[in-house]
A and B are shown apart, each in its own frame.
Chain A
Amino acid sequence: MSSSLSKFSKNESSVQKKNHNTVSSDNIAVKNKGMGKLERNRVIMSWTFVIIPTFFILLFYFYPMVQAFWLSLHTGAGVNLTFTGFDNYRRLFSDQAFIAALTNTFIFLVFQIPLMIILALVFSVILNQKTLKLKGIFRTLVFLPSITSLVAYSLVFRYLFSNNGIVNQILMGINLIDSPVLWLGDPFWARVLIIIAITWRWTGYNMIFYLSALQNVSPSIYEAARIDGASAVQQFFKITIPMLRPVILFTSITSTIGTLQLFDEPMNLTGGGPGNATTTLSQYIYNLSFQFTPNFGYASAVSYTIVVFVVILSAIQFRLGRERK
């Protein structure tokens, strides 16, 4: 993973420039070396294998990205677009709904991801113990949420956490609260609910990555630490976390990118409400394009903010991960 990522970032800038030069030099090289006709056919075939999928990626990823930028400089509904320069981007700063969506997305990012990653690490360490009984069952139970569809589990959670729903009943039954928590009606609790829901859905998923990485950590390292008198907590911070750093990095990047695009849960669990309390950037883009009077230009400007964040955050996380080596 880490080697491929470093390749990935190194060549980022040179990708576009060199692209067609090398394609042609490749074929020339083949001719010059005087390879047989058969061998040349093979090289041509191997390029065909590669070019078809690449064409789809150009068509469905890169071309739309360019289109989105072009769109973001325009305004108007449907096909009647007029050029407005960077007006859409300027508008972002005074758009309360956008600022709310941005804030919400970052609240989820800052609180949910560390919570989930720590929880997943704790589970993986506990469930990796050789002497633990019923390991398989515990693992399966923690992982099981990961097979559910986001829409389905969001709806189930909506019923679980309704005002007179079972969660409130249980919390009142054990005297933790006096009156029902308005999970769906109170801005604070609605956000907490989204965080609980995502954590339920994704902790087991991340745990699997840590478990498979832990299998490559030699038990003798822990043995040596125990002999030196290291406590379980010390072992966790001094051995487990450093050993798993590349995987933790990988999962935090994928989780960050996932959370920046959060859509299914707020859409089906809270409806983005109450008010705008749980609306995310993705949902705002969707609303701008397909729910309200379509404004593709402005929606594209909003979507470019996500692109910028994905790029910046991935870069930061990658940098941090490399520095601590």
Chain B
Amino acid sequence: MKNQETMKKVFMYSFLILTSVMFFFPFYFLIISITNPSIDITRGRLLPGTHFIENFRTMIETSLLSRAVINSTIVSFGQTILSIFVSSLAGYGFEVHKSRGKEIVYNMVLLSMMIPFAALMVPLFRLFGTISEVAPIFGIDTLFGVILPYVSTAFLIFFFRQNTKMFPKELLEAGRIDGLSELGLFLKIYMPTMKTTYAAAGIVTFMGAWNNFLWPLVILQSPRNFTVPLVISAMGSGYLIDFGAVMIAIFFTTIPTAIIFFVLQKHFVAGMVGSIK
């Protein structure tokens, strides 16, 4: 019996160690590769080299990555702030002031979760073509255009509504007696109380925006407007690929998401699983 227990343990730990190595291996390869010349990366060298500075220089000289980092930062922060504000307004409205009419609107909002983005890219591109004619700064090849379709999403509205169920409504009564308007209640009582919900929603949205590829690829045309994934994708599919430069670009643009994950792990997980509770 005891022998069997030990066997089970040995088996379990070997499974865990083996799979963990497999899950971590691509990260190890990435970290090692930023120090190796292009040729060694294709050969799969697994030891650190001395080519870090050259790789960095090549990346700066041959790609628009620094510009892309600025663009991605604008898009990610813009999208996060706008969308969590707009979507939380809806979550608050649906949950605090319930009515039959709102339930119907809410169900329609949820229905949009079923619409796959792949089906939207063509008509959205045409829609932004029209927007370009009226207000060029919101149209095709602009950072606003990247953000706009995500300002209000069913997922975030759903997420905020679910979390608002736990919100203590008595706080609002107190605010009403103090004569706060509905917007005042939202800004001065609801938002500060729901800080952790905002943090969770904000992180998930930020990561999604930072890593988004398809829609920016469709709507952005000039390389100076490209976001990080577009530049990295372009670097990786050129004729003369410098693998070291690509690796270093990937490394530096993964760091922000890694930092967010390690620093805000709790909120991160809350943002992921919070919607299904």
- Tell me the A residues contacting B by CB distance below 8 Å: 1, 4, 7-8, 11-12, 14-16, 18-19, 22-23, 25-26, 41-43, 45-50, 52-57, 59-65, 67-68, 71, 123, 126, 137-138, 141-142, 144-145, 147-153, 155-160, 162, 164-167, 169, 200, 204-205, 208-209, 212, 232, 246-247, 250, 257, 260-261, 263-264, 267-268, 271, 281-282, 285-286, 289-290, 296, 299-300, 303-304, 306-307, 310-311, 314
Enumerate chain B residues within 8 angstroms of A151, measured Cβ to Cβ. Answer: 211, 213, 229, 232-233, 236
Please give me the residue from chain A that is nearest to B102 by CB atom: A50
Q: A263-B213, A307-B119 are in contact. List 16 more A-B contacts (CB 8 A).
A: A4-B110, A45-B181, A52-B89, A64-B127, A126-B12, A126-B15, A150-B213, A160-B26, A164-B42, A200-B23, A209-B276, A282-B214, A285-B121, A286-B214, A290-B218, A307-B114
Which B residues between 224 and 250 are near A, CB-CB below 8 angstroms? 228-229, 232-233, 236-237, 243, 246-247, 250
Q: How far is the CB of B211 from chain A (nearest CB, A)?
A: 4
> Which of B57-65, B194-202, B254-262 is the contact stretch?
B254-262
B214 touches A263 (CB 8 A): yes
Cβ of B81 within 8 Å of any chain A Cβ, yes or no, is no
B116 touches A260 (CB 8 A): yes
CA distance A306 to B121 in the complex (A): 12
Please give me the residue from chain B that is nearest to A11 by CB atom: B107
Cβ of B19 within 8 Å of any chain A Cβ, yes or no, is yes
Which B residues between 71 and 120 are near A, CB-CB below 8 angstroms? 86-87, 89-90, 92-94, 96-97, 99-112, 114-120
CA distance A63 to B257 in the complex (A): 33
B23 touches A204 (CB 8 A): yes
B207 touches A147 (CB 8 A): yes
Which one of B100, B122, B236 lies within 8 Å of A71 (CB-CB)? B122
CA distance A18 to B105 in the complex (A): 9
B109 touches A147 (CB 8 A): no
A264 touches B118 (CB 8 A): no
Q: Given contacts A157-B26, A303-B118, are A54 and B109 in contact (CB under 8 A)?
A: yes
Enumerate chain A residues within 8 angstroms of B20, measured Cβ to Cβ. Answer: 137-138, 141-142
Which one of A15, A49, A126, A261 lies within 8 Å of B116 (CB-CB)? A261
Which one of B15, B100, B123, B275 lies within 8 Å of A65 (CB-CB)? B123
CA distance A124 to B243 in the complex (A): 36
Q: Given contacts A149-B253, A289-B125, are A162 and B42 in contact (CB under 8 A)?
A: yes
Produce 1/0 per residue, B13-24, CB < 8 A to A: 001100110111
B236 touches A155 (CB 8 A): yes
B229 touches A149 (CB 8 A): yes
A286 touches B97 (CB 8 A): no
Cβ of B182 within 8 Å of any chain A Cβ, yes or no, is yes
Which B residues between 23 and 77 are near A, CB-CB below 8 angstroms? 23-27, 29-30, 33, 41-44, 46
Which one of A26, A142, A149, A209 lies within 8 Å of B211 (CB-CB)? A149
Which one of B114, B207, B210 lies within 8 Å of A314 (CB-CB)? B114
A261 touches B117 (CB 8 A): yes
B112 touches A62 (CB 8 A): yes
A149 touches B109 (CB 8 A): no
Enumerate chain B residues within 8 angstroms of A152, measured Cβ to Cβ. Answer: 229, 232, 250, 253-254
CA distance A268 to B214 in the complex (A): 11
What are some 5 contacts across the A-B interface (CB < 8 A)? Answer: A41-B181, A53-B86, A164-B43, A212-B269, A303-B122
B272 touches A209 (CB 8 A): yes
A166 touches B29 (CB 8 A): yes
CA distance A169 to B40 in the complex (A): 13
Enumerate chain B residues within 8 angstroms of A22, measured Cβ to Cβ. Answer: 100-101, 104
Q: Which 4 A-B residue pairings sit nearest by Cβ, starting from the closest? A: A166-B44, A49-B93, A46-B97, A64-B123
B269 touches A49 (CB 8 A): no
B237 touches A12 (CB 8 A): no
A300 touches B214 (CB 8 A): no
Cβ of B124 within 8 Å of any chain A Cβ, yes or no, is yes
Enumerate chain A residues within 8 angstroms of B243, measured Cβ to Cβ. Answer: 159
Q: How far is the CB of A137 from chain B (nearest CB, A)?
A: 8
Enumerate chain B residues within 8 angstroms of A150, measured Cβ to Cβ. Answer: 211, 213, 229
Q: Given contacts A22-B104, A53-B86, A208-B272, are A304 and B114 in contact (CB under 8 A)?
A: no
Q: Given contacts A164-B43, A264-B214, A268-B236, are A65 and B119 in contact (CB under 8 A)?
A: yes
Q: Given contacts A64-B123, A64-B124, A151-B211, are A18 and B104 in contact (CB under 8 A)?
A: yes
CA distance A146 to B30 in the complex (A): 16
A45 touches B182 (CB 8 A): yes
CA distance A169 to B25 in the complex (A): 14
Enumerate chain B residues within 8 angstroms of A285, measured Cβ to Cβ. Answer: 118-119, 121-122
Enumerate chain B residues within 8 angstroms of A145, measured Cβ to Cβ. Answer: 23, 26
B182 touches A46 (CB 8 A): yes
Instruction: Among A71, A151, A169, A306, find the residue whose CB has the most chain B CB atoms closer than 10 A.
Output: A151
Which one of A56, A65, A123, A264 lies within 8 Å of B120 (CB-CB)? A65
A165 touches B105 (CB 8 A): no
Instruction: Among B89, B101, B122, B257, find the residue whose CB has the most chain A CB atoms closer than 10 A.
Output: B122
